[in-house]
């Protein structure tokens, strides 16, 4: 056995807080066993009304799934996790596009892109900071996230920049890479 399969049931509550409700279902030695666990639960009360909220994630064994330090936020102010006075490596921040990345518009119809949406949820569960931005503006990004039921997964909503002021162009940024929506899960 080189990896295990984690099953969770996770969704955003419909009330004002938009809190995420996550149930840890179990850890299984194969995808078949994990899928069978989902099948056993999917007709049970509660689960039956949100069958789309089951997630199966594969985790290789003996691998660190958290490899950086962390900062504790109090009243929105970040403080170093250790007393060394040196900030730990920044947490990963991923900026996600709206149109043709999470949702496609055909005429007046809006068609969600399930694989990219699932990837957003997975990255969020992995502790990545997510920002949603759009050339349609911050409010459009927020509305789109609400429409797709994933508003709580994002730290914030932004317009896409028209200009950025920086001593280096984006392709020289050491830790910045472009990932296509189809590969979002590996971002
Ligand atoms: Mg786009």
For the segment 78-118, what is each residue's pLDDT rounded down to a tens digit? 444 433 332 232 468 999 999 999 999 999 999 999 999 99
Looking at domain 90-179, does it have CATH number 3.40.50.150? no
Question: Is 90-179 in the same CATH topology as 3-60?
Answer: no
* Sequence spans of domains, the chain: 3-60, 90-179
Count CA atoms closer than 13 A to 87's CA, side-chain side. 9
- Residue 5 is encoded by which pair of tokens? 């399969």
Q: How far is the CA of 143 from the centre of ligand 1 (A)?
A: 15
* CATH of the domain spanning 3-60, picked from 3.30.70, 3.10.20, 2.30.29, 1.10.3470: 3.10.20
Taking the centre of ligand 1 as the mean of its atom positions, its distance from the CA of residue 102, in whole angstroms, is: 9
Centre of ligand 1 from the C-alpha of residue 2, in Å: 37
Rounded CA-CA distance 137/171 in Å is 23
Give the separation between CA 98 and CA 117, rounded to whole angstroms. 10
The predicted-structure confidence for 38-55, as pLDDT tens digits, reads as follows: 999 999 999 999 988 898
Q: Which ranges of the chain does DSSP label H, i.e. alpha helix?
A: 31-41, 114-125, 138-147
Q: How far is the CA of 51 from the centre of ligand 1 (A)?
A: 29
Tens of pLDDT, residue by residue over 138-176, are 999 999 999 999 999 999 999 999 999 999 998 888 778
Q: Ligand 1 center to residue 50 CA distance, Å?
A: 29
pTM for this structure?
0.56
DSSP code for 29:
S
Q: How far is the CA of 67 from the centre of ligand 1 (A)?
A: 31
Q: Where does residue 26 fall: left (phi above 0), alpha (psi -120 to 50 degrees), or beta otherwise?
A: left
- Cα-Cα-Cα-Cα torsion 80, 86, 89, 95, nearest 10 degrees, comes to 70
> What is the distance in A from the centroid of ligand 1 to the CA of 114?
16
């Amino acid at each position: 056995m080189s990896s295990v399969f984690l099953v969770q049931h996770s969704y955003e509550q419909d009330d004002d807080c938009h809190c995420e409700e996550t149930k840890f279902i179990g850890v299984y030695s194969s995808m078949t066993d994990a899928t069978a666990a989902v099948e056993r639960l999917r007709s049970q009360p509660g689960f039956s009304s949100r069958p789309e909220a089951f997630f199966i994630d594969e985790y290789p064994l003996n691998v660190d799934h958290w490899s950086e330090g962390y900062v504790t936020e109090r009243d929105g102010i970040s403080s170093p996790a250790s007393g060394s006075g040196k900030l730990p490596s920044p947490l990963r921040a991923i900026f996600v596009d709206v149109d043709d990345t999470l949702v496609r518009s055909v005429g007046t119809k809006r068609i969600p892109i399930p694989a990219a949406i699932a990837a957003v949820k997975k990255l969020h569960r992995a502790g990545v900071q997510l920002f949603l931005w759009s050339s349609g503006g911050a409010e459009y990004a927020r509305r789109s996230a609400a429409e797709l039921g994933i508003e709580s997964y994002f730290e914030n909503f932004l317009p896409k920049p028209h200009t950025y002021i920086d001593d280096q162009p984006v392709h020289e940024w050491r830790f910045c890479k472009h990932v296509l929506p189809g590969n979002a899960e590996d971002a």
